[in-house]
Structure 1
Amino acid sequence: MRRIGGCTMATAATAEAPGEAPDTTGRRAMALFAPYKGRLLLIALAILTTSALGVLTPFLTQRVFDDALFVPGGPRVGLLAWLVGAMIAIAVVSATIGIGQTYLTTMLGNEVMQSLRDRLFEHLQRMHLGFFTSTRTGSIQSRLDNDVGGVQSVVTDTASSILGNVVTVVASVVAMLALSWQLSLVAFVLLPVFVALQVRVGRVRRRIASSTQSSLSDMSAITQETLSVSGVLLAKVFGRQDHEIARYREENRRQTELQVRQTMSGQSFFAVVTGFFALIPAVVYLVAGLLASGGGAGLSAGTLVAFTTLQTRLLFPIVNLLRVSLDVQTSLALFRRIFEYLDLVPQLRDSPAARPLSRTEARGEVEFRDVWFRYPGEDAGAEPGPWAIEDLSLRIAPGQLAAVVGPSGAGKTTLSSLVPRLYDVDAGAVLLDGNDVRDLTLGSLPDLVGMVTQESYLFHATIADNLRYAAPDATDEQLRAAARAANIAEHIGSLPDGYDTMVGERGYRLSGGEKQRVAIARVILSDPRILVLDEATSALDTTSERLVQQALETVMAGRTTIAIAHRLSTILSADVIFALDGGRLVEHGTHDELLDRGGLYAQLYAEQFGGGAVEARCADGVRFSDGKVLAQRATKGPNAA
């Protein structure tokens, strides 16, 4: 077993346990075709018809030789014309049906793959944030592109190929037995050996296919990480381009080796099979001669030609069935990788009794009640991380500006993630207007809680498209009003393309302050009742900070705001300030109250604004010695006495 993004799943090795996963994977893959039973029936009828028509041709050939060409008195031209006409008609009808069959199978295969991609993408969208923080984006992209693409040709062609070839083989075998059971034994004697060899080759190809897709996943991850704007910039800044090139070349070399191994595995086997079937006509002629010379009933020329025609016709479907069988076993490895993601259970789901809380009925009260939280371990069996939030209780009244301060690692960002339920608490509860967020529908929370983070993400699209991400139906006037409120309208108006300006990947064509103000305008359009600001100005210069701060003052008006602050200058006028240390609340109050108290906040303030060392008595379990904070903290979990 292994863990992906905090979720446990079976590995490929586990999935190959005898009698378990191969059957399950095969059934699940076949279940993908269940919604298309009507189309499958049409394809089956087309295959049966063309296969039956194909088997008639050797018998017509027999009649041509025995009844129309080599007969006493010379060829019977009339009968010959009818037989030739029938052979031509069979070819034309088979070709016409084949066109329709190809269209149906192609449509079916692509629609099944479309449904699988949609299902996988939708499932990934439902996954919790921890999955994405512990899984490389390139690996996720590889599952959608490489793995699904790897099974597409098999899904598109396999069902019709298997049915068509099976029908052809069965019909040909029956016809060959009807013509001569003795010659049939010669043709079929080594088939069990070939089947056994095919099973062994299939196991090898399945293992290689799994390794090949893992290598493709690594290549996609390297490409996504190093060829993004951030990755290229990082490589250039540290002069690591040669290192990244070497890393990609090494994985590319491994991928090439695996592709060659996958292609060549089984080629010797197919060469033996093809060679055997190519030699059979000569052996058939020899056996026919021995039968005739032994005084037994001889075979007519037409029978002999019809039998060798059937035997030659048998070669292609048998080889195709063996190839398809190997392709199916290869695709099972890819299906397992796809089903691994589909089997992940999202940690955040609506409870059966969950209800929506509308923006109009929400007042904006936020409460943490005895909250404990820690991030799960990434690997199976690994212990969870240390407590990020410990026994935290606080309340923010509707409309208040509440600031959260503390040293690095104090749990400030974790606190901000629990309000919109990006994670679930391990104990206690986070409440909005008295409602546990776990009792509210996930779909209603984004309408209630808006976030502006330190690094706001913009899509590679126009400014207007990025703004409308929060409100798809927003009018142009609403966009301009939001931009004015965010102090970005003037800058947008100065751009040649205005709101149609492409911002570039992750918004790199805009400065940090401009990106942040576009993000604020986007939040304004969403009109949340509660606003969470996670160090929204800490990475900005003084001028940009002033402009962003002015924009934030506009968006905070009339809303409950939780401001995670590193720069204390941005939260001096907060209604209440909560000071965290090590995930615990050590003090709270207004700016003046906390300065008078001389605790953690006073020290942080002195460090940023000077004024000498802060002398304070022990307060709320916190005191200062040699400029360091010493806090009496519980070390036990939420269930401790």
Structure 2
Amino acid sequence: MTTSDGPPPRAMGLRFDDDSVTKQRVKPGTVRRIIPYALRYRWQLVALLLTTVVNALVTATGPLILKMIIDDGIMPKRIGVVVALCLTVAGLALVDALAMYVQTWCSGQIGEGLVFDLRTKVFAHVQQQPLAFFTRAQTGALVSRLNADVVGARQAVTTLLSDSVTTILTLILILGAMFYLSWQITIAALVMIPFFLLPVRLLARRLQRLTRETMQLDAEMSSMMNERFNVSGAMLAKLYGRSEDEVSAFSARAGRVRDIAVSSMVYGRLLFIITTVLTSLTTALVYGLGGSLTIDGTLAIGTLVAMVTLLLRLYGPVNQLSTMQVTAMTAIVSFDRVFEVLDLKPLISERPDARVLPAPGPQAPAPDIEFDRVSFRYPSADEVSLASLESIAFRKPERGENPLTLRELSFRVPSGKLTALVGPSGAGKTTITHLVPRLYDAVSGAIRIGGHDVRDLTLQSLRDTVGVVTQDAHMFHDTLRGNLTYARPGASEQELIDACVAARVWDTISALPDGLDTVVGDRGYRLSGGEKQRISLARLLLKAPPVVVLDEATAHLDSESEAAVQRALKTALAGRTSVVIAHRLSTIREADQILVVEGGSIRESGTHEELLAADGLYATLYQTQFAQQAESGADVASRLR
């Protein structure tokens, strides 16, 4: 497979200086796309907004009651009024406490529900991406979208929503109360507000850029850890002596995160210092002006105390309102990064009128496979930074992109028969096996199973019909039972044992202390290559699909194990339509049809004897690649007979 990726990044993938990431702006319409997610929790939102209204009312009412306590109770020495008003303050405090409790509960319901919705949607969407997507995307970057960015997006709907409503409503109520008490002092206080807003506007864009860069670096570090903290990555680093280089590369990323964090803290603290100084200056102004009015007798002392209290409560919302832009942009950036994944268009899609591929019954034979003038090239991605997911988009093949891997390929795999694919490395054999279960779509031509174009079938029915065993048998970090039942979740204990016996691996499993409950480790590294391959075959036998594709399924087996597995396969594949890629002589000799692939085309076809007699490419491959195995292959073939 050819790729069109750009030149390798510097310093083992370090791309934290990529301006396309840090300077990228939030896409238009992002805020509008957030609304449907929030509306799923409309009743919790209503309760959240109602409690914020209560909180705002209590905040604005408190200073007015304080004025009444001083002017109507303490100054005229009316103890009854003081007691009544104090009880009112206590009652409002209880109401406010209840409102805050309900507000917290609603916020949790909305926030965690939003996280659940986004995570499941992103996970499901990524699962629908074609195989080409996973050959280009960084695992850590995807994990970052599911974790850090989704959690950051929650802030946009919960904290931001409740804070914005509370802040704006509180600001309106406090200003109304201040104008009611003294319009002169209120105007003097309002003159200072622009001095609060100006510093934030200067810092907001810088903080947004730092936030996006932090998210990107977190994704890079997560990806690096995912790749290095597994057996394959750790082994590669040790074998090539690159451990110190790995530490250096990680340290560079972590150092940049540190520098960004320090800058963010400095900017945040600077903003706090500016607002604190301005608040103090404004308070001094109000005390000076209000004190003069009180001395002149035009302003009651209770009103002055209430004005100062309201002023202190005014600049709280003003500060929140000024910093809300930063908070909002941080949350929206998180949403924007999540939407970047959701906006990725899968190359493999299911048509609205897709049909279910009929399952073969007791009397119906397994479906045949037909390639009709099929051409294919691997998709190319747009030129993007390897450290970013921001602009990944796979285009339809165009002139000048990856060359054709298959060219006008036509052949038929008969129903219930075994067809072997042979040919030199890079001929297109594995590509053919990828097209059968529709891991990729052909550029032109048609692939039919049972007479149905695979593009007209539902993906689920197609994948249920076709079973595949690849050369690299992947195992999840789970028990043997979990790995086997992945193919058939409802399988019974006896069915698991029967599949393992048929794959000639039960003796190995039964000898383990935990048997089927043995954990295989990361990617099955606790097992040998041959054991993994046989477990993979057992998984296929458990699924029992009518169409079977084997890509070097016996490549890791020794001659004795191969003979045992071949006997199992001979029984298991009976009556099933099978496509096998193999270099082993035993498999090829047993095939009903051999297709010789070279340069993406079928050069020869026939049985083993027919192709040898033709003295063409197959005979050459046989003589150069299989001659050394002829004797051992003959022994294997004799065992199968």
TM-score, normalising length: structure 2: 0.89
Confirm or deny that 1:63 pairs with 2:68.
Answer: yes
Corresponding residue for residue 410 of structure 2? 393
**Closer/same/farther in 2, CA of residues 570 and 22 from structure 1, 3 Å limit:** closer
Corresponding residue for residue 16 of structure 2? none
Q: Is the 8 A contact 2:192 2:282 kept in 1?
A: no
Alpha-carbon deviations, 1:130-184, whole Å to 9, x = none? Answer: 1011112122111111221333345432211111121111110111111111111
What is the CA-CA distance between 1:13 and the residue it aligns to? 7.8
Q: Is the 8 A contact 2:366 2:575 kept in 1?
A: no
Which runs of structure 2 are paired with 1:104-115 in the superposition (5 Å)? Answer: 104-115=106-117
Corresponding residue for residue 618 of structure 1? none
Residue 173 of structure 1, aligned match among 163, 167, 175: 175
What is the CA-CA distance between 1:289 and the residue it aligns to? 4.0
Residue 406 of structure 1, aligned match among 406, 423, 427: 423
Confirm or deny that 1:235 pairs with 2:237.
Answer: yes
Alpha-carbon deviations, 1:300-319, whole Å to 9, x = none? Answer: 10110000010111122222
* Counterpart code for 2:139: T
Confirm or deny that 1:582 pairs with 2:619.
Answer: no
Which runs of structure 2 are paired with 1:46-445 in the superposition (5 Å)? Answer: 46-71=51-76, 75-291=77-293, 298-360=298-360, 363-380=366-383, 383-445=400-462
Distance, in Å, in 2 between the alignment partners of 1:13 and 1:377 is 25
Distance, in Å, in 1 between the alignment partners of 2:224 and 2:479 is 27
**Closer/same/farther in 2, CA of residues 265 and 550 from structure 1, 3 Å limit:** farther
What is the CA-CA distance between 1:580 and the residue it aligns to? 0.8
Secondary structure of the equivalent of 2:459? coil
Residue 554 of structure 1, aligned match among 543, 563, 571: 571
Q: Is the 8 A contact 1:404 1:580 kept in 2?
A: yes
Q: Is the 8 A contact 1:487 1:550 kept in 2?
A: no
Distance, in Å, in 1 between the alignment partners of 2:215 and 2:222 is 10
* Counterpart code for 1:414: T
Distance, in Å, in 1 between the alignment partners of 2:23 and 2:282 is 43
Secondary structure of the equivalent of 1:519? helix
Distance, in Å, in 1 between the alignment partners of 2:23 and 2:346 is 22
Identity rate of aligned residues, in percent? 40
What is the CA-CA distance between 1:259 and the residue it aligns to? 2.4
Deviates more, 1:537-546 or 1:498-507: 537-546
Secondary structure of the equivalent of 1:265? helix
Q: Is the 8 A contact 2:612 2:619 kept in 1?
A: yes
**Closer/same/farther in 2, CA of residues 265 and 332 from structure 1, 3 Å limit:** farther
Gaps of 5+ in 2: 7-19, 384-394, 629-641
Secondary structure of the equivalent of 1:252? helix
* Counterpart code for 2:524: G
Distance, in Å, in 1 between the alignment partners of 2:264 and 2:29 is 24
RMSD: 2.1
Distance, in Å, in 2 between the alignment partners of 1:4 and 1:60 is 69
Q: Is the 8 A contact 1:106 1:157 kept in 2?
A: no
**Closer/same/farther in 2, CA of residues 12 and 237 from structure 1, 3 Å limit:** closer
**Closer/same/farther in 2, CA of residues 60 and 102 from structure 1, 3 Å limit:** same
What is the CA-CA distance between 1:59 and the residue it aligns to? 1.0
Distance, in Å, in 2 between the alignment partners of 1:22 and 1:402 is 51
* Counterpart code for 1:96: L
Confirm or deny that 1:473 pairs with 2:473.
Answer: no
Alpha-carbon deviations, 1:400-427, whole Å to 9, x = none? Answer: 1100011111000000000000000000
Which runs of structure 2 are paired with 1:450-529 in the superposition (5 Å)? Answer: 450-529=467-546
Alpha-carbon deviations, 1:526-570, whole Å to 9, x = none? Answer: 111110001112233333333333332232122111001233443
Alpha-carbon deviations, 1:352-400, whole Å to 9, x = none? Answer: 2210113226632000000000011122588431111111000011011
Residue 615 of structure 2, aligned match among 595, 598, 601: 598
Distance, in Å, in 2 between the alignment partners of 1:583 and 1:319 is 66
Distance, in Å, in 2 between the alignment partners of 1:521 and 1:316 is 66
Distance, in Å, in 1 between the alignment partners of 2:413 and 2:627 is 30
Q: Is the 8 A contact 2:21 2:213 kept in 1?
A: no
What is the CA-CA distance between 1:196 and the residue it aligns to? 4.0
Alpha-carbon deviations, 1:482-534, whole Å to 9, x = none? Answer: 11111111111111111111111111111111111111111111111110001
Secondary structure of the equivalent of 1:58? helix
Q: Is the 8 A contact 1:138 1:217 kept in 2?
A: yes
Query: Size of the alignment, in residue pairs?
Result: 595
Q: Is the 8 A contact 2:484 2:542 kept in 1?
A: yes
What is the CA-CA distance between 1:239 and the residue it aligns to? 2.1
Secondary structure of the equivalent of 2:41? helix
What is the CA-CA distance between 1:227 and the residue it aligns to? 0.8
Q: Is the 8 A contact 1:513 1:548 kept in 2?
A: no
Secondary structure of the equivalent of 1:304? helix
Q: Is the 8 A contact 2:476 2:524 kept in 1?
A: yes
* Counterpart code for 1:69: I
Secondary structure of the equivalent of 1:367? strand
